[in-house]
Amino acid sequence: MESIARKLGEMRGEPDWLIELRVEAEKHLKSAPFPAEIRPLELATYDPLGKGDVELPEIKSLDDIPENIRNMLIKMGVPEYEWQKVLGLIQVDTSSQVTSFKEYFEKQGVVVLSLLDAVKKFDWLRDYAFKLMPYKTNKFAAYHTAYWNGGIFMWIKKGANIAYPLHTYFLITEGALAQADHALIIADEGAHATFIEGCTAPPLVRFSAHIGATEVYVKKGAKVKGVVLQNWPEYVNTRPYTNVQVEEDGEIEVAVAILGTGKSAGRYEEVHLKGKGAKATIHSISFVKNNEYLDDVIKIYLEAENTYGLIQTKGVIRDEGTSNSYTHIESGKNACHSKGHIECSGILLNSGAKHTTYPGVKSISPSSELTHEAYVGRISEESLTYLMARGLSEEDALALLVKGYIEPVTRHIPFEYLKEINRIAELVAKGGF
């Protein structure tokens, strides 16, 4: 049988090493296991060479926006100038605005390319691309490696300090529209940068399954901040995978806001602190409503001395939503004097909602200190009464309590998104979303 993976790689004109990697992954696909924490997905139904299995109307201008989507964008308060981006109307790769952005970034030491162009241009990327997510890991990794079909490469060169956030979603559409998009980010020694991935409004996508992956290399002394915004339309199943490797004195700070899980979402994020003094902090909020389903897996591995990891997750669950939060910090034998802390919680807004937390710490280094706390609760009647006695209606009181609850996470998210996120929090609290 002809290899679809080979065909895909050849069609795209990829280097041999990458095509061979695709083929190996494809061979492994059938026997690879699904990851333990994440809900399986029937992958055989998708055609990796197709244009998607979701029927969408042709949208050529803002006038073609379906009524329900228009209403939602208005309800969320998404500014109209962002609508085009949401609907994929801007061919951003070629637009002059983005070209000038890219030139501007290039001067500051940032290389932004589609991953395909990047692997053709830089042969050394064979030591980086797909190395942090071996296809043998699980079925999603195998599928992704075999059939990835778009993505972005960002390289922050040594010592570059980028004051403006880099929007991965905005800079290259190929990745956003692909079924299995791959982002490869390298922050070289001493580089500083902030990345923003996704947006607060649901993108219109033509595949009902998305198996994306992100690899991030944080080199010695580099500092990377990532903001991930996800709001998938209700017909989509997503299984995004992220793996970060941090070297000596490097730092990664991630703020994740899952605003809509789609039909089901299985997020897997893993950080390896490989060098002395490396740090990772991950803050996450998720809203799970209607019949949505979320498996959220976050793991930090402390692998060198004086490393530090923090995971803070907050879930707001309503209707028949189901959320499972798996958090794990592990210190290895070299992780002397390392510290890790997990704080995960969820609040349920009604009796049909479900939230389960599985916090775990594991240490084989006697001098490291790992702690965790977890709770699942409801909004207390007494708090609601108190706020109502201060002039807030029950709905407003609930919305304020939800807003307050997520504030420790939202303070890590850039201001320009906060308004929409708080609006979504309010809509979730009031049940109008």
Partner 1 sequence: MFEVRNLSVSIEGVLKLNDINLKVKPGELHVIMGPNGSGKTTLAMSLMGHPRYKIVNGDIILNGENIKELPMYERTRKGLFMSFQHPVEIDSLRYLTFLLEVLKKNGKNPDIDWIKRVFEKMGLSEEFLNRNVNAGFSGGEKKRAELAQMLLLSPKYAILDEPDTGVDVDSMKFIAGAINEALSRGTGIVLITHYARILNEIGKGFYVHILAGGEIKAEGGPELAEKIEKQGFGE
Q: Could you list the residues that contact partner 1 (CB under 8 A)?
A: 380, 382-383, 385-394, 396-397, 400-401, 403-405, 407
CB neighbours of residue 394 within 10 Å: 12
**Closest alpha carbon to 329 in 306, 352, 298:** 298
| Least spacing, CB of residue 407 vs partner 1, in Å | 6
The two structure tokens encoding residue 131: 């190395």
- Cα separation, 275 vs 305, in Å, equals 8
Decide: residue 11, CB within 10 A, 0-12 exposed, 13-18 middle, 19+ buried.
exposed
- Cα separation, 75 vs 431, in Å, equals 13
| Least spacing, CB of residue 391 vs partner 1, in Å | 4
Instruction: Decide whether 163 or 389 has the Cβ nearer to partner 1.
Output: 389
- Cα separation, 20 vs 10, in Å, equals 10
CB neighbours of residue 61 within 10 Å: 9
| Least spacing, CB of residue 373 vs partner 1, in Å | 13
| Least spacing, CB of residue 101 vs partner 1, in Å | 35
Instruction: Decide whether 82 or 396 has the Cβ nearer to partner 1.
Output: 396
Instruction: Decide whether 329 or 401 has the Cβ nearer to partner 1.
Output: 401
User: Distances in Å between the alpha carbon of 266 and those of 152, 199, 233, 294, 325?
Assistant: 21, 18, 15, 6, 10
**Closest alpha carbon to 384 in 352, 429, 417:** 429
3-state secondary structure of 199: coil
The two structure tokens encoding residue 6: 């080979």
Instruction: Decide whether 177 or 398 has the Cβ nearer to partner 1.
Output: 398
Instruction: Decide whether 211 or 387 has the Cβ nearer to partner 1.
Output: 387
| Least spacing, CB of residue 406 vs partner 1, in Å | 9
Instruction: Decide whether 191 or 397 has the Cβ nearer to partner 1.
Output: 397
Beta-carbon contacts of residue 291 (< 8 Å; ≥ 6 apart): 263, 319, 320, 321
| Least spacing, CB of residue 419 vs partner 1, in Å | 15
Instruction: Decide whether 19 or 400 has the Cβ nearer to partner 1.
Output: 400
- Cα separation, 123 vs 430, in Å, equals 52
Instruction: Decide whether 118 or 401 has the Cβ nearer to partner 1.
Output: 401
Instruction: Decide whether 215 or 426 has the Cβ nearer to partner 1.
Output: 426
Instruction: Decide whether 142 or 402 has the Cβ nearer to partner 1.
Output: 402
Beta-carbon contacts of residue 109 (< 8 Å; ≥ 6 apart): 156, 157, 158, 159, 160, 162, 191
3-state secondary structure of 245: strand
**Closest alpha carbon to 109 in 182, 151, 152, 164:** 164
- Amino acid (1-letter code) at residue 298: I
| Least spacing, CB of residue 393 vs partner 1, in Å | 5
**Closest alpha carbon to 295 in 265, 259, 261, 262:** 265
3-state secondary structure of 390: coil
Which DSSP helix (H) or strand (E) runs through 181? strand 181-187
| Least spacing, CB of residue 324 vs partner 1, in Å | 21
| Least spacing, CB of residue 347 vs partner 1, in Å | 8
| Least spacing, CB of residue 90 vs partner 1, in Å | 36
